[in-house]
A and B are shown apart, each in its own frame.
Chain A
Amino acid sequence: MVDWLVIQFHTQLGFSIVLLLVVIPAVLTGVGYSTYFERKVSAWLQDRHGPNRAGPLGLLQPVADGVKFLLKEDFMPAGADRPLYILAPMLSMGIAMLGLAVIPWGGSYQPAGLAEPLQVQVAGLDIGLLYLLAVGALGVYGVVLAGWSSNNKYAFYGGLRAAAQMVSYEIPLGLSILVIVLASGQLRLENIVEQQTALWWGFLPQWNIFLHPVSFIIMFTCVLAETNRAPFDLAECEQELVGGFHTEYNAMKWAMFFLGEYTHMIVGSAFMVCLFFGGWHVPGLAAEQTTLWGVLLQLAVMGAKISIFIFVFMWIRWTLPRFRFDQLMRLCWKGLLPVSLALALVVVVELFFNVPRSYWSLIGEVGVVAVALVAVSLFRIPVTGRQWYLPDLDNRTPLRGGSV
Chain B
Amino acid sequence: MNFKYYIWVILLVSSAVLLCGGQTALAQESAAAAAIVPASGPLEVIFFWVLAIMIIGSALWIALTGSVVRMAVGLFFSFGGVALLFFLLQAYFLGVVQLIVYVGGILVLVVFGIMLTSSSPHVRYQVPRMELATTGLVSLLLFMVLGHVLYHAPWSTTGPQLPVSMNELGRGLLTDYLVPFELAGVVLLVVMVGAAYLARQEKR
B104 at interface, CB cutoff 8 A: yes
- Give residues 248-276 of A contacting B (CB, 8 Å): none
Q: Are B69 and A134 in contact (CB under 8 A)?
A: no
Please state if A137 and B42 are interface contacts (CB–CB under 8 Å). no
Q: Give the residue of A4, A80, A148, A151 whose beta carbon is less than 8 angstroms from that of B115.
A: A148
Query: Which of B92, B121, B122 has the largest number of chain A CB atoms within 10 A?
Result: B121
With contacts A127-B166, A156-B115, A163-B108 known, is A134 near B100, CB below 8 A? yes
Residues of chain A within 8 A of B166, CB atoms compared? 126-127, 187
B contact residues around A81 at 8 Å (CB)? 67, 69-70, 121
**Which residues of chain A are within 8 angstroms of B69 by Cβ–Cβ distance?**
81, 84, 145, 148-149
Q: Which residue of B lies closest to A5 (CB)?
A: B41
| Chain A proximity mask over B87-100: 1 for CB below 8 Å, otherwise 0 | 00000110010011
Q: Does A241 contact B (CB under 8 A)?
A: no
Q: Which residues of B contact A127 (CB under 8 A)?
A: 92-93, 96, 166
Interface membership of chain A positions 158-202, coded 1 if the CB is closer than 8 angstroms to chain B and 0 otherwise: 011001000100100000000000000001000000000000000
B162 CB to nearest A CB, Å: 12
Contacts of A149 in B (CB 8 A): 69, 121
Is B2 an interface residue, CB under 8 A from the partner?
A: no
Task: Indicate which residue in A13, A125, A137 contacts B105 across the interface (CB closer than 8 Å).
Answer: A137
In angstroms, Cα B83 to Cα A135, docked, is 11
| In contact, B120 and A151 (Cβ under 8 angstroms) | yes
Asked if A134 and B104 sit within 8 Å, CB to CB, the answer is: yes
Assembled-state Cα–Cα distance A135/B104 (Å): 8
Give 1 or 0 for each of B112-127: 1 = CB within 8 Å of chain A CB. 1001100011100000
A79 near B: Cβ within 8 Å? yes
Interface residues of A in 140-161 (CB under 8 A from B): 140-141, 144-145, 148-149, 151, 156, 159-160
CB distance from A215 to the nearest CB of B (A): 20
> In the complex, A156→B116 CA distance in Å?
10
- Output the nearest chain B residue to A87 by Cβ-Cβ distance: B73
Contact A145 B99 (CB under 8 A): no
CB distance from A339 to the nearest CB of B (A): 21
Q: Please indicate the chain A residues that have their CB under 8 angstroms from the CB of B96 in the complex.
A: 127, 130-131, 133-134
Residue of B whose beta carbon sits closest to that of A149: B121
What is the count of residue pairs linking A and B with beta-carbon distances less than 8 angstroms? 81
B residues within 8 A CB of A84?
Answer: 69-70, 73, 121
Q: How far is the CA of A94 from the CA of B33 in the complex (A)?
A: 32
- Residue of A whose beta carbon sits closest to that of B104: A137
Q: How far is the CB of A307 from chain B (nearest CB, A)?
A: 29
Contact (Cβ within 8 A) B39 A4: no
Q: How many residues of B contact A (CB 8 A)?
A: 27
A83: interface (CB < 8 Å)? yes
Closest-by-CB residue of B relative to A167 is B108
Given A4-B41, A126-B92, A148-B121, decide whether A133 and B115 contact each other with a Cβ distance below 8 A. Answer: no
Chain A residues with CB under 8 A of B115: 144, 148, 156, 159-160
Distance in angstroms between the alpha carbons of A113 and B77 in the assembled complex: 43
Bitwise interface map of B from 59 to 84 toward A, beta carbon under 8 Å scored 1, else 0: 00000000101100100100010000
- Contacting pair B92 A79 (CB below 8 A): no
Distance between Cα atoms of A329 and B172 in the complex (Å): 37
A212 and B85 alpha carbons, distance in the complex (Å): 36
- Given A8-B41, A138-B99, A138-B104, are A144 and B92 also a contact pair (CB < 8 Å)? no
CB nearest to B93 among chain A residues = A127
Q: Could you list 27 examples of A-B contacts with CB < 8 Å?
A: A1-B42, A79-B120, A79-B121, A80-B121, A81-B69, A84-B73, A126-B93, A127-B93, A127-B96, A130-B93, A131-B92, A133-B96, A133-B100, A134-B104, A137-B99, A137-B108, A138-B99, A140-B108, A141-B108, A144-B111, A148-B115, A149-B121, A151-B120, A151-B121, A163-B108, A163-B111, A170-B104
Extra inter-chain contacts (11) besides given A81-B69, A160-B112, CB under 8 Å: A4-B42, A79-B120, A84-B73, A126-B92, A126-B93, A127-B93, A127-B96, A131-B99, A148-B69, A151-B121, A160-B115
Residues of B at the A interface (CB closer than 8 Å) are 39, 41-42, 67, 69-70, 73, 76, 80, 92-93, 96, 99-100, 103-105, 108, 111-112, 115-116, 120-122, 165-166
Q: Which residues of A contact B (CB under 8 A)?
A: 1, 4, 8, 13, 79-81, 83-84, 87, 125-127, 130-131, 133-135, 137-138, 140-141, 144-145, 148-149, 151, 156, 159-160, 163, 167, 170, 187
